[in-house]
Structure 1
Amino acid sequence: MATLSELLAQKAALEKQIIETQREERAAAIAQVKSLMSQYGLTLADLSAKSGAATPRRGSTGKVPAKYRDPDTGDTWSGRGLQPKWLKAALANGRSLSDFTV
């Protein structure tokens, strides 16, 4: 059975070996990336450029302009989502959607 000091020495040697192996593998990966970049004529700017095919598209986060306005209250609706109560009520009373177009 190994003593505590022997085990600690083995641990230190293993940690040193792990760090060295990580360093070697990282250097090999960097060399491989540089080789591929050279082979395909890529630059760092190419790596950071956003590609439409590679980047998933997200929905618009900006505010949508109003398409319909209630002339009495000034309330607006973009035409997206559920119709607001004021518009439903006006349509139920015989008005048309085109009456509220901005």
Structure 2
Amino acid sequence: MMMMKKEIKVSASSVALCAVVVVVLLMAEAAPIAEAVTCSPVALSPCLGAISSSTPPSAACCQKLREQKPCLCGYLRNPSLAPYVNSPGARAVASTCGIPYPRC
């Protein structure tokens, strides 16, 4: 009994196209979309009361602090902002909000 083999001809461009489609699909699954953060110390104004006194931070303060987290090292490098960001009150607010103090 003789078996017949079928040949499938695949062009190089078809293989390349399939590879590109697979890579794009994998990247879409693996890479979350990152939103750009606008660093603005004014955005942390809801935290001023909690930083300067022993009152607990509000939910708005914690939300803004989470949003501004990528900016904290920049604030620490700014001589005008560093005393506030590095204060015991700011550390307490970060701790209460569950945000680790940045190591820059």
TM-score normalized with structure 1 length: 0.28
Task: Return the structure number with greater helix share.
Answer: 2
- Computing the radius of gyration from Cα coordinates, the structure with the larger value is 1
Specify which structure has the bigger relative contact order, considering alpha-carbon pairs within 8 angstroms and separated by 6 or more residues.
Answer: 2
